[in-house]
Amino acid sequence: SVRAAVAEAADLLGGIDVLVNNAGIGAAGDIAANPDAEWHRVWDVNVVGIARVTRATLPYLRRSDHAAIVNTCSIAGVAGLPNRALYSATKGAVAALTYAMATDHVREGIRVNAVAPGTVDTPWVGRLLAAAEDSDRTAAALRARQPHGRLVTADEVASAIAWLASPQAS
């Protein structure tokens, strides 16, 4: 289904110049909090999904004059966050995968980068806060651990991705 969707997009658009690997799911808890099935599910979406979609898109990117791939990583991939063992592990893998992909494809003219935002104000974070015993205190703690004292907005992440995907970032 991924190969078919990519082929259809390429046909409709006359090719593909940019791939944004943004699909991802969260997971809460320490190392023991999630069963193996959940580990496999989160890895499949957050890491294997990048490989799956990139594999399908590479033939089109190789034909582009300004190809770019932008992977969505997270600060969780490089900094220990409490109760995010599984999520952090996958985002650390995304960081390593991004470096490997960049090295593999730079000579083909395909730039590969990642954005690694802090905690983004998303519905998933909203659900975590709503489920917290003291949502106000939890929200304040979440904001406090961000270097700038607030959650990142989706628009801020989108702007970073758009710039990295643009020819100006070459």
Q: Catalytic site residues? A: 87
Helix (H, G, I), strand (E, B) or coil at 119: coil
Cβ 141 vs Cβ 108: under 8 Å: no
Exposure of 5 by Cβ count < 10 A (0-12 exposed, 13-18 middle, 19+ buried)? exposed
d(CA 72, CA 6): 19
Q: Which residue, chain included where needed, has tokens 């960081």?
A: 95
At residue 120, what are phi and psi to the nearest 5 degrees?
A: -100, 140
d(CA 72, CA 99): 13
